[in-house]
Structure 1
């Protein structure tokens, strides 16, 4: 009986330590990746300013080709919205709406992952020699949820590779179109 009490007490102490340490972790998750594309911003902007156009280079749609996509609002720019639904755990269900669009400079979106929370994403287009540097960013307020804070530590590892793949897809698409 003493052994069971010690094991239980040890588990409680471990859980309390993990919860306490979580409040020392960052309260915001941020991911950012950049790529140089040999094209002017005007050739890239249409592919980041329309949820329909992102289908052509998205790093996630290959995971579940059966993902159900629906669009609403205008075809591009502020209000253009994508809703997706998938049973695949790495795709899930959610929505993304363009909330800011500055032609050939930047696009900002609001993401809603349902019970998984919300986030913001952005595409920044900056002149880079004869081409354009495209930076794809993501940030999410993790609040005070200890589990979210621990997950936030892993966000760059989980999402960074997808952002790199997506930017590479975008680069290939734009440069072969030019």
Structure 2
């Protein structure tokens, strides 16, 4: 019995060491990126993304919890426009536009209850439409749990970004021109 406990203790110690050592070998940042072609001019797409007033029309998270509470602050559009949310399924957080370069780029600062990230929309004219690239960048620093979590970021967030971009495309292309 004593040998079994001693073996279990060594195994636990070895697993802990592997977690720490492995965590320091993982990247200190994560990047997720998806894109779609929307048959609308860049200025029209930029106008939609430059405000949070219509965010829930195309947000991949809104239908997950339509009863979540949303609050808006700052200007209605452009740098300083902000939105916060609180819900049981979607958690709580906020985002704020920190850079807006019409008609080519919008950068949002995200805060998920102390975990910060940056979301970016790059808009490139392509044919008669706009190539919209939505990306997310997270810095993990020396947070080992965050580094391990970063390994799954693309598979978790990527699907939501694909769904959101498709809804954005439908919203813009089906709406008034």
Give the Cα separation in 1 of the matches to 2:80 and 2:28.
Answer: 28
Q: Which residue of 1 aligns with 2:165?
A: 167
Other structure's SS at 1:84 match: strand
Query: Per the alignment, in what secondary structure is the counterpart of residue 111 of structure 1?
Result: strand
Q: Which residue of 2 aligns with 1:76?
A: 77
Q: Aligned equivalents of 1:175 and 1:8: distance in 2?
A: 60
Q: CA deviation at 1:158?
A: 0.6
1:46–1:53 CA contact under 8 A, matched in 2: no
TM-score (norm. length: structure 1): 0.96
**Large movers: runs of 4+ above 4 Å:** none
1:1-178 correspondence runs (5 A): 1-88=2-89, 91-115=90-114, 117-177=115-175, 178=177
Query: 71-80 vs 14-23, which deviates more?
Result: 14-23
Would the aligned equivalents of 1:125 and 1:134 in 2 still touch at CA under 8 Å?
Answer: yes
Q: Describe the SS at the equivalent of 1:161.
A: helix
Structure 2: runs of 5+ lacking an equivalent:
none
**Contact 1:109 / 1:121 at 8 angstroms: preserved in 2?**
yes
RMSD: 0.8
CA distance in 1, matches of 2:17, 2:69: 41
How much does 1:33 deviate? Answer: 0.4
CA drift at 1:65: 1.1
Query: Taking structure 2 as the reference length, what is the TM-score of the superposition?
Result: 0.96
Deviation readout 1:59-114 (Å, 9 max, x if unpaired):
001111111000000000000000100111xx110010000001111100100111
